[in-house]
Structure 1
Amino acid sequence: MELASKYNPADVEGKWYQYWLDNKLFSSKPDGREPYTVVIPPPNVTGVLHMGHMLNNTIQDILIRRARMEGKNACWVPGTDHASIATEAKVVNKLAGQGIKKTDLTRDEFLKHAWEWTEEHGGIILKQLRKLGASCDWDRTAFTMDEERSESVIKVFVDLYNKGLIYRGVRMVNWDPKALTAL
């Protein structure tokens, strides 16, 4: 067998990454080993990886792989965030390109467009992380607006409200004149 004079990642990386995924080498199930978990601070559904993501995810991947080599039950949980304000801006711009104003839509109609945007663009960053060889437990991928997490957020907010730790009132923190909303 002759070795190539130059390393060609396409000949090697995809094959081995698929082998790792097929053999569930990044999967984690509770057992007697010391647990070690990292949850990706979820990137939003509006864009692609940038240098900040890369630095953060590289460090996380190093820590998770080290924990695995130390025999810990390492779990790196991937996910994405709805980035509501940023997503709204992207959807409003897309609709404007189609001649549709947000104010002409009902809340449900606008949410339909927002979910379509999320389904189309929401997985880009996670696909990029896979391409880079990130050792996440991909079966645990979550989205901050999925049913389970949304229910948890509502439960926590109601609990905090009932304990008097947060309140609801007419307050304006910041006004966005383009989106016409209080932030």
Structure 2
Amino acid sequence: MNELATKYNPSEVEDKWYDYWMRHDLFKSAPDAREPYTIVIPPPNVTGVLHMGHMLNNTIQDILVRRARMTGKNALWVPGTDHASIATEAKVVAKLAEKGIQKSDLTREEFLKHAWDWTHQYGGIILQQLRKLGASCDWSRTAFTMDELRSKSVTKVFVDLYRRGLIYRGKRMVNWDPKAKTALSDIEVIYKEEHSKLYYLRYYIVGEDRYAVVATTRPETIMGDTAM
């Protein structure tokens, strides 16, 4: 009779049982007569590795999906990773800079190769970390937001929503990233209407007897108006 260890040794327990679960496909799911219960993991970005927020979030999801299995439901936890393109590009550009390579010196295809290399490297780490946590995902369904199937689905849905009049271009504040040279949405801005003053500033045009007039609600920014 084997005696139980007086101290918990994760290296003797976790890998052993996770390997057992994997060999017996205990987390795989296919449609059947049971009540379905599905969680699609909010995919972590491939810009790095998992952090404490992921640990908490994924632990809660794992508890819920395991409980659903134990109550007889057809439980499925779908794993995946997200491209987070702008953030990923910044990481790739920084990595290339360490090697003395400028993005502007690369063709689109060359840069995409570096981006995909980054994705495969860090996306793989994230999925392995989830396994190390004991996540009971159906790994056969692993998805990436930029893979061919997902890309086609996203395009189809956006086109369909646009044709139904559910997607439109609204007036929204954006932040310009001068380094990435792209507009970044700020979805957390809270909009409210208010009465304000409009200040008119006249710029004297050198060599001419006239002015260029600019109207602004924020005169404090005028010292930075280098465009004029």
How far has the Cα of 1:89 moved from its partner? 0.5
Match of 1:75 in 2: 76
Aligned partners of 2:49 and 2:122 also within 8 Å: no
Match of 1:20 in 2: 21
Residue deviations 1:44-97 (CA, integer Å, cap 9, x gap): 111111111111101100000110010000000000000111100110001111
Higher relative contact order (CA 8 A, sep 6+): 1
In the alignment, the residues of structure 2 paired with residue 52 and residue 88 of structure 1 have an alpha-carbon distance, to the nearest angstrom, of 23
Match of 1:147 in 2: 148
How far has the Cα of 1:4 moved from its partner? 2.3
Query: How many residues in Structure 1 have an aligned counterpart in Structure 2?
Result: 182
Which amino acid is 1:11 matched to?
Answer: E
Q: Does 1:31 pair with 2:32?
A: yes
Match of 2:181 in 1: 180
Match of 1:41 in 2: 42
In the alignment, the residues of structure 2 paired with residue 172 and residue 132 of structure 1 have an alpha-carbon distance, to the nearest angstrom, of 39
Radius of gyration: which is bigger?
2
Match of 1:126 in 2: 127
- Structure 1 residue ranges (4+ consecutive) displaced by more than 4 angstroms after TM superposition: none
For the residue of structure 2 that corresponds to 1:74, the secondary structure is strand
Which structure's residues are more often strand, by fraction?
Answer: 2
Which amino acid is 2:7 matched to?
Answer: K
Gaps of 5+ in 2: 185-228
Q: Does 1:66 pair with 2:67?
A: yes
For the residue of structure 2 that corresponds to 1:174, the secondary structure is strand
Residue deviations 1:13-45 (CA, integer Å, cap 9, x gap): 111111111111111110000000000000011
In the alignment, the residues of structure 2 paired with residue 148 and residue 32 of structure 1 have an alpha-carbon distance, to the nearest angstrom, of 27
In the alignment, the residues of structure 2 paired with residue 16 and residue 179 of structure 1 have an alpha-carbon distance, to the nearest angstrom, of 45
How far has the Cα of 1:156 moved from its partner? 1.7
- Structure-to-structure mapping, 1:98-109, within 5 angstroms: 98-109=99-110
Which structure's residues are more often helix, by fraction?
Answer: 1
Residue deviations 1:114-164 (CA, integer Å, cap 9, x gap): 111111111211111101111111111100001000011111222233334
For the residue of structure 2 that corresponds to 1:122, the secondary structure is helix
In the alignment, the residues of structure 2 paired with residue 11 and residue 127 of structure 1 have an alpha-carbon distance, to the nearest angstrom, of 18
Match of 2:86 in 1: 85
Q: Does 1:136 pair with 2:134?
A: no
Identity %: 81
Normalising by structure 2, what TM-score?
A: 0.75
Aligned partners of 1:17 and 1:133 also within 8 Å: yes
In the alignment, the residues of structure 2 paired with residue 166 and residue 133 of structure 1 have an alpha-carbon distance, to the nearest angstrom, of 39
Normalising by structure 1, what TM-score?
A: 0.93
